[in-house]
A = this chain, B = another copy of it.
Amino acid sequence: MDLGVESREKTRAMVVELSKKVKKIGEDDPRRIAHSFKVGLALTLVSVFYYVTPLFDGFGVSSMWAVLTVVVIMEYTVGGTLSKGLNRAIATLVGGALGVAAHQIAVLCGEKGEPILLGLFVFILAAAATFSRFIPEIKARYDYGVTIFILTFSLVAVSSYRVDELMQLALQRVSTIVVGVATCLCTSIFVFPVWAGEDLHKLVAADLEKLANFLEGLSTEYFAEKGEVENLESKSFLQVYTSVLNSKPTEDSLMSLARWEPGHGRFWFRHPWKQYLRIGALSRQCASSMDALATYITASPKFKPSTDPDLHLKIRKTCQEMSSESAKALKELSASIRAMTVPSSASRHASTVVATVRKLEDVLSEGKATSDVLHSATIASLLTQLVVRAREIAGSVEELARLAHFKRLDPIHEVRVKP
């Protein structure tokens, strides 16, 4: 009896936890809920083929292929649905045509030769097509298409051995697949669309802001402290860059989906999506420098009461200036990507930082190599590496602004300054 109560309690706890998790997933991104209903909607729409008798009489059991198509090609983003839909439609046409051709050749070989020849065709084409999936370019863009090609070719070639009205069947299937693809496309483009390109754009901007937050935290919570920094491990800014380190797979997949998407909102058809990957790669390098700095700061001995307080203060102030200027530059880059405007002062901030680096070198060569100065010198070197990488980011964002024709802000202000 007790055991029963216990296991009921356990089940209840599990259900509560699961429902909390589900709620959080929905709240984190409400578009997920919309997507779920969109899949339900597309499937229900396509089932009309079964319910409306005149439609069913036209397509027969081939109506099944419309349902099947909707289930497998409906993806979260418009780019995903488009790439799978086009892959499926084209691969079905090509595979079907080759299958019919294989059937025509095989019947020439008589009743005994037909199955042997068909088997040979299936073996060779399936092996060749499977091997082509190992070519990275094909894997990235046409992986699903190759699967559907093998599938359609095998089904058509092999079925042809049994089916007489091959052409009619093939036409029915192709037209139901087209109906399925069209249903999915309309649902994903016109009902709360999720654009992979927009997500990529926002992700890259958000990552730059995270890098800026690290530098800002460094400046206000580490370098600004006069004495020893307390509870350093618990400071949130020391963790903020970690998600940037692992953003490569997400960025790669969003970029390969974005290429399929038509122009939408503020993005044209041939928006320079590749440039986002370059900014992303530089952001990861910058995050990697942050990792080195954060590890050094948390692991090594804290600032000790210095033997040379003046020098110590100078170094600290200079480091603070470097990180706050870099943070400003990164914040502006992130904001200008978001607003799609040309960054105006990021380069100026970056130049300020480079000037500060020189000042720091002078300051450092004044002192004696006490362990305190060495500690500061290492932090300064790591910070220098970091801000140099931040400046490279500024360059690549400016390149994006040029390629994507971002708007120029404040032309009046610029004219005013010139004379």
- On A, residues with C-beta under 8 Å from B are 21-22, 25-26, 32-33, 35-37, 39-41, 43-44, 47, 50-51, 56, 61, 64, 67-68, 71-72, 115, 118-119, 122-124, 126-128, 130-131, 134-135, 147, 150-151, 154-155, 158-159, 161-162, 245-246, 248-249, 285, 288-289, 291-292, 295-296, 299-300, 361, 364-371, 373-374, 377-378, 381-382, 385, 388
Contact = CB atoms under 8 A, between A and B. Distances in A.
A290 B237 CA distance: 23
A43 B122 CA distance: 7
Contacts of A248: 246, 249
B299 A292 contact: no
Contacts of A151: 67-68, 71-72
Given A43-B154, A155-B64, A371-B361, A119 B51 contact: yes
A64 B299 CA distance: 62
A56 B368 CA distance: 90
18 contacts: A26-B131, A32-B131, A36-B130, A36-B131, A39-B150, A40-B123, A47-B122, A67-B154, A71-B126, A72-B147, A246-B248, A288-B291, A292-B382, A361-B371, A364-B369, A365-B371, A368-B368, A374-B374
A22 B292 contact: no
A44 B122 contact: yes
A30 to B, nearest CB: 11
Contact of A47 (B26, B39, B154, B388): B154
B364 A374 contact: yes
A47 B124 contact: no
